[in-house]
Amino acid sequence: MTQNLLEVTGLVKRFGGLVAVKDISLSVAPGEILGLIGPNGSGKSTVMKCIMGIVRPNAGSVRIGGVEVAGWPTHRIARQGVGIVFQHSHPLPRQTVLEHIEIALLPDSLLKLAADRHVAERARAIAARVGLDKVMHRLPRTLPFADLRRLELAKAIARNPEVVLVDEPFAGLTSGEVADFSALIASFRAEGHAVLLVDHNVKSVAALVDRVFAMYLGERIAAGSAAQVMSDPKVRQVYLGGGIEVAARPAKAAEGAAPLLSVDKLSVSYGKAQALEDVSLHVAPSEFVSVVGLNGAGKTTLFNAICQLVPSTGTVRFGGAALGGRTAAQVARGGLVQCPESRELFGDMSVRENLDLGGQHLSPAECARQLDWLFELFPILRERQGQAARTLSGGEQQMLAIARALMMQPKLLILDEPTLGLAPVILEQLSKALERLRLTTDITVLLGEQNVTFALPHADRVYVLEHARIVWEGSPARFAAEAGAAYL
């Protein structure tokens, strides 16, 4: 029987009172690719860092080729036969591509600091292997983003490791580049390496790996073939929020009305990574529109670009006026308000003080009326008025974040992942609040969600954002019939 090259058993990692990884066991055999998936905060990267020695596990075993390495320093684990492809590149600024690979090939013994005469030749072969042969004499700052990712691959495989850990290889890549990287990673398998692959791009992972290991909140929720894991009820619950259901919604937006928000060919790059590519959408007055997509698809980047929080190309119009050149504060004062995924509450200020900040532009009488309305919408906030925001539960903090945004009396409210990490009872309360907004106000809502079970009943129309691009648009009923099966 073939011995697993990587064997993890009972792995536990705590950060203070937070258990980031709880009793995780997995293995990877020679010539096998294991895909490690899960939403943000699932513990995937922590598992990888524990294996590589970047963080020290609190309990459990990590074996490389049968040798126990748990708790070893990173350089010893690398010497034992582990290479890691980091998500973020931090190349040396003055060394060429070829010199970076040569450095990775240098002996790691103080007794032998000089490289042998074959290093340059081997470095050239590795550069050619990953598609860098035509740029090997260039500096990293002159390279496109995909070539920086290739450089990380080259450094990771320079010492011919038995185990290759690959963290988010597809982030920021185009579809064509994803295909190229998939072929490169598949070649590691063909050479007998054991590969542990972490990525948000579930479809790309599923198409490449031999097995999938799914995590949520530090624990294993499913393992098996890609088909088995993607159809597992727990996995679908985590990614979709449950079974896909739609609700009949009488049209509220005026027929033929000009869009309140119009986005045309919006693109955003973070450095050399393409985070948003030619995205176009529109939202009519009083319409509720949902943008659904998995983690890393680009939802937050889209909303930040609309609100002028990040530089972008393309056009954003609100109420017929172009927003280019305006500050984020001017955009918010003009009626386009975002409730961010990170909530951005002032933790040491009270609930009432956070709300007062949102309503500072209102007269005392208007502020009082708005507060009364919000306390009817979220009654728990009335009881918690004097309590520090950081002492609230996660659900109460989310209600406060939404309420603070509503204190600004927006014409269009952007909600970014409002259900993230919340219990079902809180989701029900948020759902009722959104429905009340729709029935009793003229507020327009643009909702970004991974949880389609929450998003669809609150949508007049749906956009699917995948890998930085809009790939589908239609009604919730059409989504359930056409796009829902392919969402994962």
Give the dihedral sign, CA 125/129/135/138. negative
Q: In this structure, are 236 and 284 located in the same domain? A: no
* pLDDT tens, residue by residue, 350-379: 999 999 988 888 888 998 999 999 999 999
Can you read off the two tokens belonging to residue 21?
Answer: 């990884």
CB-CB contact of 467 with 459 (8 Å):
no
CB-CB contact of 348 with 390 (8 Å):
yes
For residue 245, tell me if it sits in a domain: no
C-alpha to C-alpha distance for 292 and 295, rounded to whole angstroms: 10
Beta strands 163-167; 82-85: pairing state: parallel
175-190 vs 145-157: helix crossing angle, rounded to 10: 10
* pLDDT tens, residue by residue, 109-125: 544 445 566 788 888 88
CB-CB contact of 220 with 196 (8 Å):
no
For residue 474, tell me if it sits in a domain: yes
* pLDDT tens, residue by residue, 208-230: 899 999 888 889 999 999 888 88
Q: Domain boundary residue among 240, 273, 300?
A: 240
For residue 248, tell me if it sits in a domain: no
Give the dihedral sign, CA 283/289/294/299. positive
Q: In this structure, are 345 and 314 located in the same domain? A: yes
pLDDT on residue 179: 83
Can you read off the two tokens belonging to residue 262?
Answer: 């119009």
Q: In this structure, are 203 and 322 located in the same domain? A: no
Q: Which domain holds residue 26?
A: 6-240
Q: In this structure, are 446 and 399 located in the same domain? A: yes
Which residue has better confidence, 413 or 250? 413
Residue 253, pLDDT > 60, answer: no
Backbone angle region of 359, left / alpha / beta, with phi > 0 → left and psi within -120 to 50 → alpha? alpha
Q: In this structure, are 267 and 213 located in the same domain? A: no
CA distances from 79 to 10, 159, 161, 224 (A): 24, 9, 8, 31
| CA triple 485-298-242, angle to 5 deg | 35
CB-CB contact of 34 with 9 (8 Å):
no
For residue 256, tell me if it sits in a domain: no
Alpha carbon distance, N-terminus to C-terminus of the chain: 34
For residue 66, tell me if it sits in a domain: yes
**CATH code for the domain in which residue 379 is found:** 3.40.50.300
Q: In this structure, are 236 and 348 located in the same domain? A: no
For residue 465, tell me if it sits in a domain: yes
394-406 vs 351-358: helix crossing angle, rounded to 10: 30
Q: In this structure, are 234 and 292 located in the same domain? A: no
Q: In this structure, are 201 and 316 located in the same domain? A: no
Q: In this structure, are 197 and 296 located in the same domain? A: no
CB-CB contact of 454 with 463 (8 Å):
no
For residue 209, tell me if it sits in a domain: yes
Confidence of residue 396 (pLDDT cuts 50, 70, 90): confident
Backbone angle region of 23, left / alpha / beta, with phi > 0 → left and psi within -120 to 50 → alpha? left
Confidence of residue 485 (pLDDT cuts 50, 70, 90): low
Q: In this structure, are 177 and 311 located in the same domain? A: no
Q: In this structure, are 328 and 443 located in the same domain? A: yes
Mean pLDDT score, 224-249: 70
C-alpha to C-alpha distance for 389 and 404, rounded to whole angstroms: 12
Q: In this structure, are 344 and 469 located in the same domain? A: yes
Residues near 90 by beta carbon (within 8 Å), at least 6 away in sequence: none
Mean pLDDT, the chain, rounded, equals: 85
Confidence of residue 16 (pLDDT cuts 50, 70, 90): confident
Residues near 393 by beta carbon (within 8 Å), at least 6 away in sequence: none
Number of structural domains the chain divides into: 2
Confidence of residue 201 (pLDDT cuts 50, 70, 90): low
Burial class of 378 by CB neighbour count within 10 A (0 to 12, 13 to 18, 19+): buried
Residue 318's DSSP bridge partners are 261, 321
Confidence of residue 156 (pLDDT cuts 50, 70, 90): confident
* pLDDT tens, residue by residue, 407-428: 999 999 999 988 876 766 777 8
C-alpha to C-alpha distance for 312 and 79, rounded to whole angstroms: 43
Mapping DSSP onto H, E and C, the string for the chain reads CCCCCEEEEEEEEEECCEEEEEEEEEEECCCEEEEEECCCCCCHHHHHHHHHCCCCCCEEEEEECCEECCCCCHHHHHHHHEEEECCCCCCCCCCCHHHHHHHHHCCCECCECCCCCCHHHHHHHHHHHCCCCCCCCCCHHHCCHHHHHHHHHHHHHCCCCCEEEEECCCCCCCHHHHHHHHHHHHHHHHCCCEEEEECCCHHHHHHHCCEEEEEECCEEEEEECHHHHHCCHHHHHHHHCCCCCCCCCCCCCCCCCCCCEEEEEEEEEECCEEEEEEEEEEECCCCEEEEECCCCCCHHHHHHHHCCCCCCEEEEEECCEECCCCCHHHHHHCCEEEECCCCCCCCCCEHHHHHHHHCCCCCHHHHHHHHHHHHHHCHHHHHCCCCEHHHCCHHHHHHHHHHHHHCCCCCEEEEECCCCCCCHHHHHHHHHHHHHHHHHCCCEEEEEECCHHHHHHHCCEEEEEECCEEEEEECHHHHHHHHHHHCC
For residue 26, tell me if it sits in a domain: yes
